[in-house]
């Protein structure tokens, strides 16, 4: 009898280990309402059974997920000044690029940006617009690439989109980038295959609450890098 009771209880527990605690209480209720001899045998059998435990849930983390809203990787509403160290295979030494976010239109969800590329002779000055569109945060110009979708919307890991012959991909959300302005964590990483990869590659990083902090382009005819050197709010 003892062997039979032990077998019944053991089988009932291993059939649903996630509910082991509930089953244990249910068995006790049945045992308390049955024959005293059988109840004693059942309690003895329970004492020798293995104890089941449910592991804690595994949290989702890593480079594929982020709680940061897409707009925080390029905050247009902040009147900020960003200065970059600019190096290229086209010239020796380093130049400086200055981006100043002049104004923000809440109605148009756009920001006017003034860009100055300091040369050894006359600085090159231009203005462009960064705006939020249904398919992404778009800029009519950028320091080293030109017009593009800076950040796609909706933003998700491994999202791919094309701009002309170039293929872009959201490669990660938790990159750490070290530049002259400091070390930035939780950066959005976007990679580009120029002409599908035949003409070279590029990568860029956006820090939450700051914007673009690093960009590198390696193509058949040039190599260019910009690194954030300073950031300040006006």
The structural domains of the chain, ordered by start, are 2-47 (no CATH), 70-233 (2.40.360.20)
Write down the pLDDT at residue 57. Answer: 43
Long-range contacts for 124-133 (Cβ within 8 Å, ≥24 apart)? 130/74, 130/76, 131/76, 132/71, 132/76
Residue 51 has pLDDT above 60, yes or no: no
Average pLDDT of span 142-162:
96
Residue of 12, 24, 17 whose CA lies nearest to 55: 17
Percent of the chain exceeding pLDDT 90 equals: 68
Write down the pLDDT at residue 193. Answer: 97
Residue 46 has pLDDT above 50, yes or no: yes
**C-alpha to C-alpha distance for 163 and 151, rounded to whole angstroms:** 12
Write down the pLDDT at residue 13. Answer: 42
pLDDT band of residue 38 (cuts 50, 70, 90) is: low
Write down the pLDDT at residue 2. Answer: 45
Average pLDDT of span 198-205:
95
Average pLDDT of span 201-221:
97
Look up the pTM and report it. Answer: 0.74
Residue recorded with tokens 């400086």: 96
pLDDT band of residue 197 (cuts 50, 70, 90) is: confident
Residue recorded with tokens 């082991």: 20
Average pLDDT of span 6-21:
45
Phi, psi dihedral angles at 55 (to 5 degrees): -65, 150
**C-alpha to C-alpha distance for 166 and 172, rounded to whole angstroms:** 19
The pLDDT tens digits of the residues spanning 59-109 come to 334 688 899 999 999 999 999 999 999 999 999 999 999 999 999 999 999
**Between 20-32 and 2-14, two packed helices, what is the crossing angle to 10 degrees?**
150
């Amino acid at each position: 009898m003892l062997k039979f009771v032990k077998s019944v209880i053991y089988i009932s527990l291993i059939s649903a280990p996630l509910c082991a605690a509930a089953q244990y209480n249910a068995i006790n209720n049945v045992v308390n309402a049955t024959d005293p001899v059988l109840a004693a045998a059942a309690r003895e059998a329970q004492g020798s059974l293995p104890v089941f435990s449910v592991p804690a849930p595994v949290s989702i983390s890593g480079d594929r997920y982020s709680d940061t809203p897409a707009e925080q990787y390029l905050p247009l509403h902040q009147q900020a000044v960003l200065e970059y160290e600019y190096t290229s295979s086209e010239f020796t030494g380093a130049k400086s690029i200055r981006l100043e976010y002049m104004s923000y239109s809440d109605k148009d969800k756009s920001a006017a940006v003034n860009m100055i590329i300091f040369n050894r002779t006359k600085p090159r000055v231009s203005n462009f617009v960064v705006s939020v569109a249904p398919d992404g945060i778009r800029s009519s110009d950028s320091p080293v690439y030109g017009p593009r979708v800076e950040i796609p919307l909706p933003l998700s890991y491994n999202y791919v989109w094309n701009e002309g012959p170039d293929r872009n991909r959201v490669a990660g959300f938790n990159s750490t980038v070290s530049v002259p302005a400091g070390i930035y964590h939780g950066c959005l990483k976007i990679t580009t295959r120029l002409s599908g990869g035949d003409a070279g590659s590029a990568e860029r990083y956006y820090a939450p609450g700051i914007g673009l902090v690093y960009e590198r382009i390696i193509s058949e005819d040039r190599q260019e890098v910009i690194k954030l050197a300073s950031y300040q709010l006006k």
